[in-house]
Structure 1
Amino acid sequence: MNDMIELALFATTAAVAGWLIRRKQQQRSDRITTEGPTEIACMLKRQGRWRPGKLSIGTDSLVWEQALSKQMVKLLTDLRCVEFRRPTAREMLAINPGSRVVECKSLQGNLLIAVMPDDLAHALRLMGK
């Protein structure tokens, strides 16, 4: 009898947690859709390392803010998205294996941005694609 109570309690807790997570994702997605994408959590490959931060729209271009140091980096204006893909096995050691890597090119070189699949469409919209 106690096993059934524990199972029912676990199933209820899992269902409520799943519902809360999905509701939060939906609210965030609705806010981005209505207000326009302003910030997206992502990782940017700079100087050979993946760095966590936020991608946002500045006054006239994309701006990436590093999470720990709050350093603002203005991304190149001629940045264009070439493709998006799953991370390689080596990249999975540094970033979330479920994320998507957006490969961008500019005149100064290549840029890699890792975003979660839910944010991929918003990130591409931020980049003008």
Structure 2
Amino acid sequence: MIQLLVVLATGGLTTWLLLRKAEQRAARAARGHEIRVPCLLRHPAVEGRWLRGRMVIGPSAMTWEPRTRVGAATTLPSGLRQVGLRSPSWREALRFNGGSRIVECTSSEGDVHIAVMPRDLGYVLVALEESETP
């Protein structure tokens, strides 16, 4: 019985912290400040791997901030442009959250995929739209 209470309390605290972080991100975006959106990136330079990190979305540009050594030398390619939006395939859902959305993009270096949670999808799509306009 005590174990069940501990598990429920931990789950509730985790949910509260995640929602609080999302609310803080929304408030910062509404004020026009730079925000960091957690996501996964599939880059042509690192074929076949999803890199963990954050999209740093600011008033002037969007950049990639890696969270692992594998993606440390990876930057967003120039000419990044959205061409599609989809849910993860069954195989991809085994590697990361199946509730996420994958933004399919083209660039000067090849196809780039960005996996992001639905609550943060709008930030990424708006940043991609703004980077397309000259």
Deviation per residue, 1:78-129 (Å, 9 max, x gap): 1101121110101112121111100001233111110111110011122235
Normalising by structure 2, we get a TM-score of: 0.71
Cα shift at 1:30: 1.1
| Aligned-partner Cα distance in 1 for 2:86–2:39 | 15
Query: Which residue in the other structure is 2:87 paired with?
Result: 86
The alpha-carbon deviation at position 25 of structure 1 amounts to 2.3
Higher strand share: 1
Q: Matched residue pairs, number?
A: 121
Deviates more, 1:83-92 or 1:64-73: 64-73
Equivalence map 1:33-44=2 (5 Å): 33-44=30-41
42, 45, 49: which is aligned to 1:45? 42
- Provide structure 1 residue ranges, at least 5 long, that are not aligned to the other structure: none
Q: Is the 8 A contact 1:80 1:106 kept in 2?
A: yes
Report percent identity of matched pairs: 37
Which residue is equivalent to 1:28? 25
Bigger Cα Rg: 1
How many angstroms does 1:61 deviate by?
Answer: 4.9
Deviation at 1:71, TM superposition (A): 1.3
Alignment of 1:32-111 (within 5 A): 32-46=29-43, 47-57=47-57, 61-69=61-69, 71-111=72-112
Alignment CA distance shift 1:22-1:114 (3 Å) = same
- Give the partner amino acid of 2:117: M
